[in-house]
Structure 1
């Protein structure tokens, strides 16, 4: 049975991704910062008959927490870096430097720290996969195009933090290109969740589905790519 770790999985898109992967026969380590919320999420899945799930306490912004979590797992096939924070909207250049640090610490440095702590376990898998959950707001190409439907939706902190994660994804995928790893950045699209005050048009089911798709791709699947639910093409590949 393949095993997957999903960070920030106690609610919304992460929780739904856990549910979908459990239905596909994966064992899920449901990562969350809060013990009570994590335990409640696991209990909810088990009550629905999805029993191959275990709560893993992990705060990606806390190196000590990430290191401790890494010592509790002995096998891993898939890592989904889903945990993230927005820093609050709207955002502009007058935002405090502390907020910049807080968001980047979770969305960028936190994801890197998780990869570094779990990469050796993933290397033991026959088909290791890494999905870095990103955002359409990270695309520099789209944000430079006045015809893009989300062109006015600028953010001085959240978008750049995900742009940095995208850049890291490219480098990581290249570093692992001669191995069995598949490493991709995946944007679930503008989804209705409490992350954006329930303003998005997409559903968590569809949002989780594209994450799961690239978490479970076959050996001939892509690596080092950026995919988005908001891209209306057959392959949904987004420009960087």
Structure 2
């Protein structure tokens, strides 16, 4: 890697070929960062990166399946060889486990009748995949003067909100897969933050809100750009910013 007089910030967003991840990539590119579009499908990743470049951004596709450690290690090697460091990691890739359904209609997630294989698959992506990617990218993040990690969680992960009998989540069917996976992710976020705070690596969880995406069959009321705003804010925190937090665009959320 050649030496530059100024540090070019590099951000990797997983699951960034569409939806919230792509919107976050677009916003980071608009701020002048080099953005790496993490995508399982190389063609879709390259199409998204090309669109960002056409809009004036500096973007590259990186083939990365969070459930396949070999692709994650290959991606880390690619980032190291091309850029030598990583400043921002947004762990956005996730699955609902119910296909394209609305959360209020996820009958296959009801705890008493759930398919355990589906639960395992959801945790494989939403929890274990985050560990896989984060650990592979940490050596590159440690080379950044201001490393930031953002884990994309959900309002539904909040035990406080979902256990309120009079709260908005009572209308949703109970979930033994997606919702607990995001609760685990927020807990994992705190553990990473506690380990890495001494190294100046800020680690936070973000709840984008109910965004219009494939995951909910486009029933969400927020645009991907609106949902991505909190991801980008946490990805660009100053040195005095929070760590081990859980935030939506409105502010801190209860655990």
TM category (shorter chain) comes to over 0.9
Task: Work out which of the residue numbers 230, 246, 251 in structure 2 matches 1:210.
Answer: 230
Q: Give TM-score, length-normalised by structure 1.
A: 0.95
Alpha-carbon distance, 1:49 to partner: 2.1
Aligned twin of 1:222? 242
Deviations 1:38-78 (A, max 9, x none): 1111111122222x111000000111111111111121011
Deviations 1:131-156 (A, max 9, x none): 00001111111111122222332322
Q: Are 2:167 and 1:160 aligned?
A: no
The runs of at least 4 aligned residues of structure 1 exceeding 6 Å deviation read: none
Which structure's residues are more often helix, by fraction?
2
Deviations 1:193-225 (A, max 9, x none): 111011111111111111000000000010000
Aligned twin of 1:142? 161
Root mean square deviation of aligned Cα: 1.1
CA contact (8 A) 2:50 2:59 kept: no
Aligned twin of 1:201? 221
State how many pairs are aligned.
234
**Secondary structure at 1:178 match in 2:** helix
Q: Give TM-score, length-normalised by structure 2.
A: 0.89
Whole-angstrom distance in 2 between the partners of 1:156 and 1:190: 19
**Secondary structure at 2:171 match in 1:** coil
Deviations 1:170-215 (A, max 9, x none): 1110111222111000010111111101111111111111100000
Q: Are 2:53 and 1:24 aligned?
A: no
Unaligned runs of 5+ in 2: 1-7
**Secondary structure at 2:90 match in 1:** strand
